Structure 1
Amino acid sequence: MGANISTSVVQRKEGGSPLRPKLDDIPESCAALVLAMLDPPEICKLARVNRTFHAASSADFIWESKLPSNFKFIVEKVLKDATLLSLQKKQLYARLCRPNPFDAGTKEIWLDKNTGGVCLSISSEALTITGIDDRRYWTRISTEKSRYPTVAYLQQIWWFEVDGELEFRFPAGTYSLFFRLQLGKSSKKLGRRVCNSEHIHGWEIKPVRFRLTSSDGQRGESQCYLDNPGNWVLYKVGDFVVENPNALMNIRFSLTQIDCTHTKGDSRFLVSIFLYHKKMLKEA
């Protein structure tokens, strides 16, 4: 037969009755194990409880588990700044949650601060747009609503086509790809933002078609009419699944409206592509 023996030391008052345990009595190592089970926002909240939790919240093993599995690839190959690996994991997490430009500033990568999911955006400068160099059809304008210095502005065109491509080593999971578009020009009037929709035309006749394909054979397709003048809108292209986090995946995507019976015009295209890890999106 066997026996299980446990011992404990309980601090007592002068009269002999035991004192109630406090949060300060929790060993830092135990607090760190608790924090490791939580999401980043919850870790930061508990770090303000007392000194023990504050000290425990900086443990590298906690934050390394919150970083994406490809964080070394992001730092060394995408951002090309290996010095970031010398930071504490908590500091690295915070650094990667900020927008980090790469490819001469035409792309950005960041982590969702609540989940650690990888997000990417691509500016219109990195896309192939039919007629982009012809000033009769397209111009580049600045806007406060863009991550990038300029966005592509369509005056009018018959053949509308935008193509893009991205090669990246994604952590395993499901991702969603969107185009971010706005109809019309916004301006401020008496301190309020207004949209002049007078010259918007052609988008209500035929829907715009979105497509994506991946190097491992996945396909996505959707179509819709562009609407909601004056507001930047995310139009979903489709989803793709990453099963092998160690392999580079090539994603091609496009947006077309090639019915030449009518012109399309007066539209801003941050034609900024956004890729989000699925767990960060609220399901409809």
Structure 2
Amino acid sequence: MEDILTRVLCLTDPRFVCSITITSQMFNRAAGYDLVWNTFLPPNFRQLIEGLPNADHLLTLPRKTLFLYLTENPVCINDRNVAQKILLNRNTGHIAYFYAGTSINVSWFDEVIMDGTHQRESSISTPIRPLWFPRCMDLINPLWLQLNALINPVLLSRNCNYTVRFIFRMLPEFMGQNDAPDQVLCNIRIGGRPVSARLVYFRSNNAVGPGVNEQLPHDDDYWASYVEELEPHGWLEANIGEFYLDNDDRGNVHISIRDMTAANWKGFIQVAGIECIPSD
């Protein structure tokens, strides 16, 4: 009976398994078996944690303990010199992913180079989410720019819907337009296949803040949205698209953010990174 129960629990999710532990001793025993929790861990969990200094110790833990550890402790991964973090969702086991702003590829379209450099790294004194890195990228005086991020699909969950968010803020030196939202085109491709296109509008006047309450410009070709403000410290969050990753997807997830406005100095934009959050 207990063997049958264990196999049934493998077909559920972590939240349900944890909820039945108080039902009876038999349920409690079945809910703790490694066989159950192996189904909730990513299939490549050994590969994901192999770079951790305590990886050998983690692999000796009961699988339930390891699962809970990975829901509370983000794993830093340096893949192809790209700084990334992952964290398991406690309810589903799906991977939440963060691509560091310092690793985002920046393409510049400026013909005029201002004094100094166009980008630099700086510190985030108070990261407000556990996936964030303590350093971010400052974009200085761009006219037009394009940001690109390539994500290895082995760092994401299969058969999972993801919402993609661009996290940034405008520094006090910001110099963009004050009379209209800046227009940014966000594209997501998987292995070259387009899966999402979205226009994002945000105001450049810090006194006014993002144009959440403004009339959203209408465009029949794209889904459009404004940014939302995160508290504290002026961070902004732009929902730049969604995608579904299935078992047949083999190519990289390519995220691009391209300025669509006329040439005007954007001033100082600080980029924390790109989040891919399971929406199931």
Normalising by structure 2, report the TM-score.
0.69
Distance 1:173 1:200, change over 3 A: farther
Residue number in structure 2 paired with 1:96:
70
1:160 aligns with 2:145: yes
* SS of structure 2 residue aligned to 1:180: strand
Shift of 1:156: 2.9
Identity, in percent, stands at: 18
- 1:80-229 matches, within 5 Å, as 81=55, 84-97=58-71, 98-103=73-78, 106-130=83-107, 135-143=116-124, 144-145=126-127, 147-169=132-154, 170-185=156-171, 199=174, 201-202=176-177, 204-215=180-191, 217-226=193-202, 227=210, 228=228
**Which protein is bigger by CA-based radius of gyration?**
1
CA distance in 1, matches of 2:69, 2:82: 17
- Alpha-carbon displacement from aligned partner over 1:56-90 (angstroms, at most 9, x marks no partner): 331112212222344344345x7694664443221
Q: Aligned AA for 1:261?
A: A
- Contact 2:183–2:261 (8 Å) recurs in 1: no
State how far apart, in whole Å, the 1-side matches of 2:240 and 2:186 are: 8
Task: Check 1:269–1:67 CA distance in 2 against 1; reply closer, same or farther (3 A cut).
Answer: same
Contact preservation (8 Å) 1:156, 1:266: yes
Structure 1 31/164 Cα, relative in aligned 2: closer, same or farther at 3 Å?
A: closer
RMSD of aligned Cα (Å): 3.4
- Structure 2 residue identity aligned to 1:273: I
1:43 to 14, 17, 23: 17
Q: 1:28 to 1:100 in 2, by over 3 A?
A: same
SS at match of 1:62: helix
Matched letter for residue 173 of structure 1 = N
Q: Distance in 2 between matches of 1:264 and 1:114?
A: 40
- Report the AA paired with residue 13 of structure 2: D
Query: What residue ranges of structure 2 are gaps of 5+ in the alignment?
Result: 109-114, 203-209, 211-227
The number of aligned residues is 237
Give TM-score, length-normalised by structure 1. Answer: 0.68
Distance in 1 of aligned mates of 2:4 and 2:242: 43
How far is 1:38 from its partner?
4.7
Q: Is the Cα contact below 8 Å between 1:138 and 1:153 reproduced in 2? A: yes
> Which structure 1 residue ranges, 5 or more long, are not aligned?
1-26, 186-195, 280-284
Give the partner amino acid of 1:276.
Answer: I
Provide the C-alpha distance between the structure 2 equivalents of 1:105 and 1:250, rounded to a whole number of angstroms: 14
Match among 230, 235, 242 for residue 231 of structure 1:
235
Q: Output one character per residue of 1:200-244: Cα deviation in whole Å (capped at 9) or x when no partner.
A: 523835411111222163442111112356233142233143233
* Contact 1:167/1:250 (8 A) holds in 2: yes
Could you tell me which residue of structure 1 aligns to residue 206 of structure 2? none
Aligned twin of 1:267: 269
What secondary structure is seen at the aligned counterpart in 1 of 2:152?
strand
